Amino acid sequence: MQQKTPYELIGGEKAVASLVDRFYFFMDTMPEAAGIRALHRESLAEARDKLFKYLSGWLGGPDLFVREYGHPRLRARHFPVAIGVAERDQWLLCMARALDEIAMPTALRRDLSQALQQLATHMINQES
């Protein structure tokens, strides 16, 4: 029996789209996320689309980002943006709030949170 991917376990495309929508809702509305929001364009549509496509493949679903943009090279793509500990923490706060709104097993939420923490830490390109 083949094990289900995190993408399948959280509910597939609809759940990933909801996660991304909620993530950007929190980024756009939480005063605690104002710093990271300021790093984005006025419209979050492109960022929302790219994050959805990236997370789809990252979670084990369709590799939409790679098909359209090639290898993610996340750190290189984000290098022009100053990302420090504060920005990482704001991003993680928004993502944690969004994850809390998606129904999933507790162990999966914990594992995803840990993996996203590592990913976000890897994106830091500025000293404190």
CATH number, position 103: 1.10.490.10
Domain count, the chain: 1
Q: Which pair of structure tokens corresponds to residue 29?
A: 């509305």
Exposure string of 54-89, with b = 16+ CB inside 10 Å and e = fewer, is bbbbbbebeebbeeeeeebeeeeebeeeebeeebbb
User: Is residue 91 situated within a structural domain?
Assistant: yes
- Rounded mean pLDDT of 8-30? 97
Q: Which residue segment(s) compose the domain that 83 sits in?
A: 11-122
Query: Which pLDDT score is estimated for 73?
Result: 75
**pLDDT tens digits, residue range 66-82?**
898 887 776 666 667 88
Distance of CA 44 to the CA centre of its chain: 13
Q: What is the pTM of this model?
A: 0.90
Grouping H, G, I as helix, E, B as strand and the rest as coil, residue 84 is coil
